[in-house]
Each structure stands twice: as structure tokens, then as C-alpha cells.
Chains A and B, each alone.
Chain A
Amino acid sequence: MDAELLSQVLFAAIKTGTPLLLIALGEVICEKSGVLNLGQEGMMLMGAVVGFLAAYSSGSVGLGVIGAIIIGMFMSLIFAFLVLHLGANQVATGLALTIFGTGLSAFVGSGVVGQTVQGFQPLIIPVLSDIPFIGHILFTHDLLVYLSFVLAALVSYVATKTRIGLIIKAVGENPHAANAIGIKVLRVRYCAVMFGGAMAGLSGAYMSLVYTPMWIENMTSGRGWIALALVVFASWRVGRIMLGAYLFGLASIMHLVLQGMGWNISPNLLAMLPYVATVVVMVIISADHFKEKLLAPRSLGKPFDPRQMA
């Protein structure tokens, strides 16, 4: 494989990995606070459809992105209320959110299937993009990809270096202790879940405004689920999430690469690659049961009721 092709492939891997990175960044904060939101796919689809509709009707992609973020937060708020206030089962509620989002997005978007918008245009950064090889891979993307770089750095910084990050961690590790020292556990969890919703919405907007600038039913095709696996794969660390997202991006575009190299394999078989890769990766990381237990937020998925004592 020559350098030109390799640079094209890595460029595409970043482009394809970006929605995974965005949604996983939200989910990792949510999980660090002890809440497992399986509704990612539903929030992402709502973000995609609302982002598209807003951009389609207003002609502004910026409004599209804002609309997507707001709907993502609204969706996550439903989840947060059921799980945090009514103590509903997190797994079942997350599934409900995905089913609801899938249905609602198809319903809302049924009028604009097949329409297109003028999506985000590439924003070539001067000077940096002239660096040989790396320049093209990293600095000839669109605004949202650069935003994802910034957000990854920001999430990593907040999670590991700030007081807010410490509070989120305390709530996720031991909510009773956090409560005892005066942290409002449910309030922190609400914020974390809604951050997750905002990022899922943004990720959806990336799908419908950048990746394929149109709305198609179920267009996220399981990316919300893959992101959930990605967070486990990265053992809740932002740097590894970034790496993992681009690796999955690479797996998703392998069929184009192999076809380009003249391999004749059914596109349907190659389309399985990211899902198979997800399973394989999960098997490898979970096999070390002790390590996963050690790294996962300790109260992940467990409800906290301030009315009851530990």
C-alpha cells in the first residue's frame, strides 16, 4: 500500500470514527457518575433527525447542530427522570429509550427521507495541513472533527484534573460516601446523563450533516451500541476511547479499502466487520474479569435513593 492510499485510509478512519468518539465521550462521563445509559442509539438517531430537520428548514447547519444537542439532552432527561427519580431499572429504561428514539426518529423524519442538505464543508487549516502525510490526515477535516479533538481533550482534562471530575468519580464509585460529605448525588448524575445526551445528539448531527448529509431511517446502524462497547474497551479512559474510535472507524471502511485493492468479497459480509470486531474486542478485554472489575465505576448501573440509608 503506498503512502497516498494510506493517508486517504487514515483520513477516512478519523472521519468515520468521529461519531463514535463524540458519543463515547458523553457516555464515559455518564458511566463515571455511575449511570449506564443504553439509550445511546435512540438519542443519536433523534439527534440525527432533528439536526437534519433543523438544518433543512433553516438552511443553517449551525442551527442543526444546536437542535440536535437540545433534543439529545431532552431525550436523556426522560431517561434520567425514570432512572434517578423513579428508580426504574437502568437496562430496561435504556432499551426503552433506544426503541422510542428509533420509532420517533423514523416518524418525525418520514417526510424528508432522501432529501439532502448542504452539510459542513471541509475547513482546511493553513500551515498545519501542509505538514507532509499527517497534515492531510488530521487537518483537512470539517469543523465538527476539530471540535471532537477539542472535546476529547476537554473531557480528559475535566475528568482527571479538576474538582468536577473528582465529584463525578466520587458519585460513581461510592454514592453513599459522596452523599455523606454533602454532594448532591442525583444532581451530579442528572448533569452527567444530560452531558451524555448532548454528546449523543451531536454525534447524530455529525451523521446526518457531515457523514452522509441526509436522513435515512436507522442511519446510525448500531454506532450507539458500538460506542458502549468502546467505553468498556477503553477502560473508561479518554485517550483510549479516541484510539478505539478510530480503530473502529478503520474497521468500518475496510470494505472500501479491500474493494479498492481489488478483493472481490461481498459487501454484506464486509459490513459485518465492525460488529465482529466489537465482539472480539469485548471477549478479549472482559476475559480478564479482575481487571475489568477494578476499572469499572463501582456503582455502575446501581440505583441510589437518598431516602434510604446504605
Chain B
Amino acid sequence: MIRVQARIEQSTLMKIASPLLAIFLTLIFGSVLFSAIGKDPLQAMQVLLIAPLSDMYNIGEMFVKMGPLLLCAVGLSLCYRANLWNIGAEGQLLMGALGGSTAALAFIDSSSVLALPITLICGVVSGMLWAAIPTYLKLKFNSNLILTTIMFNYIALYLLLWAVHGPLRDPEGYGFPESALFSDITTLPILFDEGRIHLGVIFAIFAAIGAWVLLNKSHIGFQIRVFGEDEPAARYAGFNGKKISWIVMLFAGALAGLAGVAEVTGPIGQLIPSVSPGYGYSAIIVAYLGRLHPLGALLSATFMAVLYMGGDLAQIEIGVPTAVVGMFQGVLLFFLLACDFFIRYRVSFITNNNPIQE
């Protein structure tokens, strides 16, 4: 029979093994699913996971998708560490894109070297502002952060749609809901001759490293961790909970805003209605898969970016709708949460039928 015991201490091994096990189980689930709809599972997996890494162009595209995922996930990791359920990365990203685009369009005839930095700052500040409102409402009025941040995602989306249909629409764009193309002066530099890897990807990697330093090597980071793990202890130690909340939320908003502005000034080059294919929501899974650790997010964002690429390729090559990616993400998070059971519990199989057990 099977015996389940609560562990006295959480298992460190399982903490690392759980995401790997969850990915493995998701792949098995995917193979079964593909067989069920009449596709060759091996070919499907090859297209989803191997093909995105097959040549330099695709690897570059993978990094382009990794950038926004990583930026959002690093911010969310810190929030979740501090027990702040910020689901608003998507809205903060969209506002970053909107704020940055407004600046970039203002600089469209400019040749100032400051144009790009100011554009980026506008994006970052817009993201911070969009995170600041729910934070304020939570701290001042005790409103539920999950629900307000979700609502702000929808509000941001409609603001963006309003802008591309209205004030920011390209007057020479034949009525399409798109802004004018940004000038070269406000476009992020491309790093290599081949592909589209831009400066934003470097920002993302630095953000992950910076967040790791902040979390593990600074007093603030220590306070964040104590708050997340044992709030009464943190209060007893005299840590300022409101200050921690502000720091973490603004940091997350800034990174998500940077992700948004880097998308419009990087690979897209203008403001369009579909700036993000749900990066802000996927980042929740990236953060969890990376164990709420900024460097773990680096690995999980890479994996998720491969999956995004694979989804695009799967649609072209084997005729599977791109939506398969979203479903895999959900399954992955389910398996991860299920595998995390083993961090807290030990399961053993008992073979002898000793009547005096338990």
C-alpha cells in the first residue's frame, strides 16, 4: 500500500526536479494528444521543440521572444516571493508599449541621441504607473490585488485599442489601426548581422541578474523573502510592509513596461493592436517554472520561448492551431503544481502487511 507522510523540511531535490518532471509529463501528454488527433507525435515534438533551435535565424527569434517573457517573469517572481499576487504584467506591458510609442511618435522627425533613452524611460514609467494604481488601491483601500490587476489588464488593452484607432493612428495608413513606423533614431539597435536580436534581450538578461543580486545580496531582498515566508516575523522585525510592496510592485511594473516598449521599438517597430501574444500571462508560468528565482526564470523563459516558436512552426508545418501553446502552458502549470506535492510530502510504498503500522 501507499503511505503519504508530511516532510519535516521541504525537499530541495524535489524543488529542482519538479519542473523537469512537469515538463516531461507535459511532453507525454502532448504526444498522446497529437496521436489522438492523428498527427505523428514524434514529428510534432520535433517541430515544437527541436525545429525552433535548428538554425541561427530561429535561435535569434527564440531570443526575441524570450526577452519580454523574462522581463515580465523576473518582476512577477519578486512579487510572488513577497506574497503579492500581481497578475497585471500583461497590462503593464501594454501600457509600456503605449507610453513608449507616444514618445517615439513625438520623436519621429527628431535626430537627438536622447530620443531612444527618453522613449524607453516613457515605457518604463508607464508600466510603473500601471502597477502603482493597484498597489495604491491595495495598500490604501485593501482592495484585492489579483482582481484589480486583472481588471487593469483589460483597461490597458482597451486604452491601447483606443490609441491605435484614434490619436496614434497613422494618418497615411489607409485607416488601418496602426501607428506610423518609428524612425531609426527610436528603434533599438540590432546586435548581430543575422536575425533580429535587439538590445532589449540584453536588458532582460541584465534584469534577471540584477534581480538575483537584489533578492539574495541586499537587505531589501532579505526583507522581501522574510515577508513572503513569514509575515508576522517580518512585522516583528520592524520591516516596513508597505515599502516592500511598493518596491516590488514598481520594480515589476518597470520591467513589464520595459518589455512593452522594447517590443514596439524592437521587433515590431510601430504600435499595433496585437503587441503581445499574452506574454504577461505566460510569464506567470515562467515565474513558477523558474521556482520564483530570477535565474531560474532565465531557463524557464528560454523553454517557453522555444514553445512559442514551436507553436508558430507547428501551425505552418503540421497544421496544428497555435492555440496548442496556450493549452500546453496550462497543462505544464498543472503538472508543476501536482509535482510540487512531493516537495511537501514523502510517498513510500509499503510491501509487508504489518498490522501495526501507522
**A interface with B by C-beta (< 8 Å):** 38, 42, 78, 82, 86-89, 91-93, 95-97, 99-104, 106-107, 110, 217, 221-222, 225, 228-229, 232, 266, 268-269, 271-272, 275-276, 278-279, 282-283, 286-287, 289, 292, 307-308
**24 pairs, A vs B, C-beta closer than 8 Å:** A82-B338, A86-B340, A87-B341, A95-B333, A96-B330, A102-B326, A103-B325, A104-B327, A106-B326, A106-B327, A110-B323, A225-B150, A266-B166, A268-B158, A269-B162, A272-B155, A275-B152, A276-B155, A279-B151, A279-B152, A282-B143, A282-B147, A283-B137, A286-B141
A107 near B284 with CB under 8 A, answer no
Chain B contacts for A292, CB-based, 8 A: 142
Interface flag for B159 (CB, 8 Å) = yes
Known interface pairs A275-B155, A283-B143. Does A101 touch B148 (Cβ–Cβ under 8 Å)?
A: no
Does B223 sit within 8 A of A, measured CB to CB? no
Give A97 to B85 CA distance when docked, in angstroms. 16
Inter-subunit contact A221/B323 (CB<8 Å): no
Residues of chain A within 8 A (CB-CB) of B337 are: 82, 86, 88-89, 92-93, 96
Interchain nearest-CB distance for A189 vs B (Å): 17
**Those of B144-191 within 8 Å (CB) of chain A:** 144, 146-148, 150-152, 154-155, 158-159, 161-162, 165-166
Q: Are A279 and B137 in contact (CB under 8 A)?
A: yes
Contact residues in A for B142 (Cβ distance below 8 Å): 286-287, 289, 292
B334 and A268 within 8 A (CB):
no
Residues of B within 8 A of A88 (CB): 337-338, 340-341
Q: Which residue of A lies closest to B167 (CB)?
A: A266
Q: A87-B341, A102-B326, A282-B143 are in contact. List 12 more A-B contacts (CB 8 A).
A: A86-B337, A87-B344, A92-B333, A92-B337, A96-B285, A101-B330, A103-B325, A104-B327, A107-B321, A222-B151, A275-B155, A308-B6
Q: Are B326 and A229 touching (Cβ within 8 A)?
A: no
CA distance A99 to B344 in the complex (A): 25
**Chain A residues whose C-beta falls within 8 Å of the C-beta of B143 in the assembled complex:** 279, 282-283, 286-287
- Whether A278 and B338, one on each chain, are in contact in the complex, defined by CB atoms closer than 8 angstroms, is no
Q: A88-B337, A278-B147 are in contact. Are A110 and B329 (CB under 8 A)?
A: no
CA distance A275 to B338 in the complex (A): 33
- CB of B129 within 8 Å of the partner chain: no
Contact A272 B159 (CB under 8 A): yes
Indicate whether B87 reaches chain A with its CB closer than 8 angstroms: yes
Asked if B220 lies at the interface with its beta carbon under 8 angstroms from chain A, I say no
In the complex, chain A residues whose CB is within 8 Å of the CB of B159: 268, 272
- In the complex, the answer to whether A103 meets B330 with C-beta atoms within 8 Å is yes
The residue among A91, A101, A107, A292 with the most chain B CB atoms within 10 A of its own CB is A107
Complex interface bits, B292-327 against A, C-beta within 8 A gives 1, otherwise 0? 000000000000000000000000000001011111
Is there contact, CB below 8 Å, between B147 and A95? no
B326, B330, B345 — most chain A CB neighbours (10 Å): B330
| B209 CB-CB contact with A under 8 Å | no
Measured CB to CB, the nearest residue on chain B to A93 is B337
Residues of chain A lying within 8 A (CB to CB) of residue B85: 91
Q: Does B251 contact A (CB under 8 A)?
A: no
**CA gap between A276 and B137 in the complex, in Å:** 13
State A268–B327 Cα separation when bound (angstroms).
29
CB pair A106–B148 under 8 Å, yes or no, is no
Q: Do B151 and A99 touch across chains, with their CB atoms under 8 A apart?
A: no
> In angstroms, how far is the closest chain B Cβ from the Cβ of A11?
26
Find the A residue at minimum CB distance from B165.
Answer: A268
In the complex, which residues of chain B have a beta carbon less than 8 angstroms from the beta carbon of A102? 326, 330
A97 to B334: give the CA distance in the assembly, Å.
8
**In the complex, B130 has a CB within 8 A of chain A:** no
Q: How far is the CA of A266 from the CA of B4 in the complex (A)?
A: 58
With the chains together, A263 CA to B148 CA distance in Å? 29
User: Complex formed: what's the CA distance from A92 to B331 in Å?
Assistant: 13
> For residue A287, which residue of chain B has the nearest CB?
B141
Cβ–Cβ < 8 Å partners of B107 in chain A: none
**In the complex, what residues of B have CB within 8 A of residue A95's CB?**
87, 284, 333
- Report B-chain residues with C-beta under 8 Å of the C-beta of A89: 337
Check if B227 is an interface residue, CB within 8 A of chain A.
no
- By a CB distance below 8 angstroms, the chain A residues around B324 are 103, 107
Enumerate chain B residues within 8 angstroms of A232, measured Cβ to Cβ.
144, 147
| Chain A, Cβ-Cβ closest to B323 | A106
- Cβ contacts under 8 Å, A271 to chain B: 158
Chain A residues, CB < 8 A from B285: 96, 99
The interface residues of chain B lying within 8 Å CB-to-CB of A217 are: 323
Instruction: Indicate if B239 sits at the interface (CB-CB under 8 A).
Output: no
Interface set, chain B 3-25, CB cutoff 8 A to A: 4, 6
Contact A78 B334 (CB under 8 A): yes
Would you give the shortest CB distance from B304 to chain A, in whole angstroms?
Answer: 12
User: Is B328 part of the contact surface with A, judged by Cβ < 8 Å?
Assistant: yes
Complex contact A266–B165 (CB within 8 A): yes
- State A217–B327 Cα separation when bound (angstroms): 13
B321 touching A275 by the CB < 8 A rule?
no
Within 8 Å CB of B146, what residues of A? 38, 91
Q: Check if A307 sits within 8 Å of B6, measured CB to CB.
A: yes
Residue from the set A87, A217, A221 with the largest chain B CB neighbour count within 10 Å: A87
The distance from the CB of B311 to the nearest CB of chain A, in whole angstroms, is: 10
Which residues from B are CB-within-8-Å of A99? 281, 284-285, 326, 329-330, 333
The chain A residue sitting closest to B320, CB to CB, is A107
A residues near B63, Cβ cutoff 8 Å: none
CA distance A140 to B35 in the complex (A): 48
B288 at the interface (CB under 8 A from A): yes
* Chain B 260-292: CB-based contact to A (< 8 A → 1; otherwise 0): 000000000000000000000100110010000
Instruction: Name the one of A101, A222, A269 contacting B150, with C-beta atoms under 8 angstroms.
Output: A222
B-chain residues with CB within 8 Å of residue A107 when the two chains form the complex: 321, 323-324, 326-327
Contact partner of B144 (CB less than 8 A), chosen from A96, A282, A308, is A282
Please tell me if the beta carbons of A272 and B147 are within 8 angstroms of each other in the complex: no
Q: How far is the CB of A24 from chain B (nearest CB, A)?
A: 13
- Measured between alpha carbons, how far is A276 from B134 in the docked complex, in Å? 12
**Can you list the 10 inter-chain pairs with the closest CB atoms, starting with the nearest?**
A100-B330, A103-B326, A106-B323, A103-B327, A110-B321, A268-B162, A96-B333, A107-B323, A88-B337, A86-B341
